Amino acid sequence: MKKIFLAGALSAAFVSPTVFAQAKNFEGFGIQLSTGYQNNASKYSNVKVDGSRTNTDPDLGPASLVGFSNSSSGTAPLNIGLSMTTALTNNFTLGLLAEYNPISMNAGSSNLTVGGQNVADAAFKSKLENQVSISLVPGYAFTNETMGYAKIGWVTATAKLTPNVNTGDNLNTNVNGYLLGLGVKHLFTKNVYGFAEANYIGYSAGSATAADSFPDGQVTSLGYTNTPTSYNFLVGVGYKF
């Protein structure tokens, strides 16, 4: 009986630290870079010319509802991240991740419409800029080198609408939203790791109004509400201190 007890104690002494090290391997402060493919879409609503949802300028078309065509486009982001991760149990970790994307990301081209028809020389480029996110990152260590994780975060960005031809102000608005993601991380060495992840970003609606020139040369007020969305597939590398 005594031998069995001693064997159990020795087993616990040698096995438990190794198992706990599974999550401990991912602890610490880290810095990382990621890129890949990101699709950005803009959905427009509540478009107004001179404060009216109905066109009042005959040079732009009939007295019909004005709008913007929705747009989307893919581009490559460059996310710079800072993270802090701690082990909660033998397998579970919890991290905090802050990311910034300095790339001006294309979100497609839109056109002012009257009665569903495009207005000539009234095309706009849609972009998302200065994307910043802060996420909680719960993780599960499958082995000493590989873990899976989720991302649940808050995100903010600037949605821009810039005239292609016409002179006028950019119609910019700040939009906030949420980020949901899933990923896997692998330790190549004690400090260097690689990861792959997929994320979805949903923004709340943002509104903007500015002066703009239309085909007849008349400067008028143009306003809109934009509800952007994004999804991405990223790969990256990082260094854990």
Read off the pLDDT of each residue in 37-64 and give the average, rounded to a whole number: 79
Query: Are 95 and 148 in contact, with CB atoms under 8 Å apart?
Result: no
Query: What are the backbone dihedrals phi and psi of residue 95, each rounded to the nearest 5 degrees, phi first?
Result: -130, 165
CA 205/CA 210 separation, integer angstroms: 17
CA terminus-to-terminus distance, the chain = 46
At 57, the pLDDT band (50, 70, 90 cuts) reads low
Classify strands 78-87 and 71-75 as parallel, antiparallel or unpaired.
unpaired
Kindly report the pTM of this predicted structure.
Answer: 0.83
Query: Are 178 and 202 in contact, with CB atoms under 8 Å apart?
Result: yes
pLDDT in tens, 98-114: 999 999 999 998 888 88
Q: Which domains does the chain have, with CATH numbers?
A: 2-240 (2.40.160.20)
pLDDT in tens, 144-169: 999 999 999 999 999 998 877 655 56
- Which among 150, 145, 130, 137 has a CA at the least distance from the CA of 82? 137
pLDDT score recorded for residue 117: 80
Structure-model confidence comparison of residues 213 and 130, the more confident one = 130
Joined tokens for residue 47: 């478009």
Helices vs. strands in the chain: H and E counts, helices first: 1, 12
